[in-house]
Every structure is written in structure tokens, then in C-alpha cells.
């Protein structure tokens, strides 16, 4: 029997396991079992929370296909709320260890409940070599690709996870399953890629649909929202502070030009808790 917590950030839902107590070893296998929405709990993945020596807390995240992701923006906000409200880490500023490094998180608390979370998402990476993209240029920014019957201009970067952003006139008109899967699995991406289809509303507001690597379309992705804003800023279509409208909710992304750092601000919510047999 395993105790679990279901949480969501902008509709991006995960099963959260306190692995300080549960001590699940086969995280990949466990995730594949519990993510099925018909025969088990159902979620966009599993997040395992644990102690570590060099940060206040750590977590590992696995996709429904059992693959491990480096980072999740919506997930880290939920982790921060989880450990604060359950008394595991009782600090309003904490450091959380992920596979993509230690992230600084700031909590906005009212009546001992976390209302909003600000996450320092770090510095964006554009090197195709570091991202294991086989491309003749050092960066992949606004490059044209023919995908099936359409042409897309792609920008790839990493903000903890690799993301590939493309700008479209209307995200609601895109067959995201058709084109998202093809872009995710382009031969140039040795470890596949997450894909964001972005519609520019104005320079301070964008609308995004997310195709997550190893998952499919999800209602939201924090790192994807962050990547979309910096890609828009680089391509001259957004400001450095931008609201991102995702299918599951809104996030605010801030790019600090002086420090070259990105921040994400948004909510996180408990859904329910239970026991898995």
C-alpha cells in the first residue's frame, strides 16, 4: 500500500509521492502503472520527493512512458507547496534540487497556506551541442523546417528540459497530435523534444498549446511557458515580461536581461490524497 497525493498546477497534474517515507525504488515502473487514467490514478506523470544534502529538498519526475524528465515548472511549484504545508520544509524561501540543478523558490503565504510560488528557472541554454541536437549551426533559432504538409519556423532551447517553440496564427486551429509528434521525433533531436505552439496576442500576452515529450498534449507546462516567452523575446515578438495563457491556466514569466535569468510565477493546488493498493 502506497500513500499518494494528487496535485495540479495550471491543469498539469501529477501523482506526488513522499519518498522519504514510501521509499519506492522502481520509480519508472511505478509511474507507468499509476498514470493510466482508466485503470489507475491517472496523471501527466509522477514526482518523487526526497531529502538531499545540498538543498532543502529534492525531487525526481517521470513521464507516463517511464522516461525521466529533468525539470517541471508546474511540478516544482507543487513540490514547494507540498513540503511547506506538510511541514517538511517550513521556509518561505527554499532551494529545491532537480536533475537540471538546484532551483531557488519563493513562496507567497497567507494564513499558513501557499497562494503563489515564484521559481527561478535559471539561465536558458541555446547550444545545439549541449542539447544533443544534430544541426550544422551552434544554435537553432527561427529555422525553417518542412513538417508533413506545412512549414514551421523552429526555435530550440533548454530551461531545464529541451523545448522547441514555433509561432502560429491560431493555436486552436493546429492539429497538435499530428504535428507535435512529428516535431518531437525529428531526427535532429537525439533525446526528442517538447514542443510549444505559440500564438501572439500582443507583446505582453501569448497563448500556448503544449506537446510534451513522452506524454502528448497537456493542459500546461511551466518550462514550456518559460521557453515560449524567451523564444518570443529573441524573435522580437514579445516583451521580457509576459503572461502565458495555457489551456489549464495562466503563468507570468519574467526575463531579467541583466542577469540572463528567468522567473516563473503561478499557483499550485492539492486535488486529493489516497492509498494505492
Band (pLDDT 50/70/90 cuts) for residue 272 is very high
The residue from 35, 72, 78, 242 that is catalytic is 72
pLDDT at 96 exceeding the cut of 90: yes
pLDDT at 235 exceeding the cut of 90: yes
Q: Please tell me what DSSP assigns to residue 63.
A: -
Which residue shows C-alpha cell 537525439? 190
Band (pLDDT 50/70/90 cuts) for residue 214 is confident
> What does pLDDT average to over the chain?
96
CA distance 249 to 6: 17
**Percentage of residues in the chain having pLDDT higher than 90:** 97
Please write the tens of the pLDDT for every residue from 169-203.
Answer: 999 999 999 999 999 999 999 999 999 999 999 99
Band (pLDDT 50/70/90 cuts) for residue 52 is very high
CA distance 75 to 61: 8
pLDDT at 215 exceeding the cut of 90: no
Looking at the DSSP assignment, which residues form a beta bridge with residue 132? none
Residue from 124, 143, 60 nearest 98 by CA: 60
CA distance 195 to 111: 38
CA distance 73 to 12: 10
Query: According to CATH, where is 3.10.310.10 located in the chain?
Result: 2-121+266-276, 143-259
Contacts of 227 (CB under 8 A, 6+ apart): 124, 157, 159, 163, 165, 194, 196
Band (pLDDT 50/70/90 cuts) for residue 156 is very high
Catalytic (active site) residue 72: yes
Fold of 143-259: Diaminopimelate Epimerase; Chain A, domain 1 (3.10.310)
Residue from 159, 151, 83 nearest 117 by CA: 83
Catalytic (active site) residue 221: yes
Domain 2-121+266-276 is of which CATH architecture?
A: Roll (3.10)
The residue from 10, 35, 78, 221 that is catalytic is 221
Confidence at residue 108, expressed as pLDDT on a 0 to 100 scale: 97
pLDDT at 160 exceeding the cut of 90: no
Which residue shows C-alpha cell 513522499? 18
- Report the pLDDT averaged over residues 260-274: 96
The grid coordinates of residue 214 equal 513522452
Amino acid at each position: 500500500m502506497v500513500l499518494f497525493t494528487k496535485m495540479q498546477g495550471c491543469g498539469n497534474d501529477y501523482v506526488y509521492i513522499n519518498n522519504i517515507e514510501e521509499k519506492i525504488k522502481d520509480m519508472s515502473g511505478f509511474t507507468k502503472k499509476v498514470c493510466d487514467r482508466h485503470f489507475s490514478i491517472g496523471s501527466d506523470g509522477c514526482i518523487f520527493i526526497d531529502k538531499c544534502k545540498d538543498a532543502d529538498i529534492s525531487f525526481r519526475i517521470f513521464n507516463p512512458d517511464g522516461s525521466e524528465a529533468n525539470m517541471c515548472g508546474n511540478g516544482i511549484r507543487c513540490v514547494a507547496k507540498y513540503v511547506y504545508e506538510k511541514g517538511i520544509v517550513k521556509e518561505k524561501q527554499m532551494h529545491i534540487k532537480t536533475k537540471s540543478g538546484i532551483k531557488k523558490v519563493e513562496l507567497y503565504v497567507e494564513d499558513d497556506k501557499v497562494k503563489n510560488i515564484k521559481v527561478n528557472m535559471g539561465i536558458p541554454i541555446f547550444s545545439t551541442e549541449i542539447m544533443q541536437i544534430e544541426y550544422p549551426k551552434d544554435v537553432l533559432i527561427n529555422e525553417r523546417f518542412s513538417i508533413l504538409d506545412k512549414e514551421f519556423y523552429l526555435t530550440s532551447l533548454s530551461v531545464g528540459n529541451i523545448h522547441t517553440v514555433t509561432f502560429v496564427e491560431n493555436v486552436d486551429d493546429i492539429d497538435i497530435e499530428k504535428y507535435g509528434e512529428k516535431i518531437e521525433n525529428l531526427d535532429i533531436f537525439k533525446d526528442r523534444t517538447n514542443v510549444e505552439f505559440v500564438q501572439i496576442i500582443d507583446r505582453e500576452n501569448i497563448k500556448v498549446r503544449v506537446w510534451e515529450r513522452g506524454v502528448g498534449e497537456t493542459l500546461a507546462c511551466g518550462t514550456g511557458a518559460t521557453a515560449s516567452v524567451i523564444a518570443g523575446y529573441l524573435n522580437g515578438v514579445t516583451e521580457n515580461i509576459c503572461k502565458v495563457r495555457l489551456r489549464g491556466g495562466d503563468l507570468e514569466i519574467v526575463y531579467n536581461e541583466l542577469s540572463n535569468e528567468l522567473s516563473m510565477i503561478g499557483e499550485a493546488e492539492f486535488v486529493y490524497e489516497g492509498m494505492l493498493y
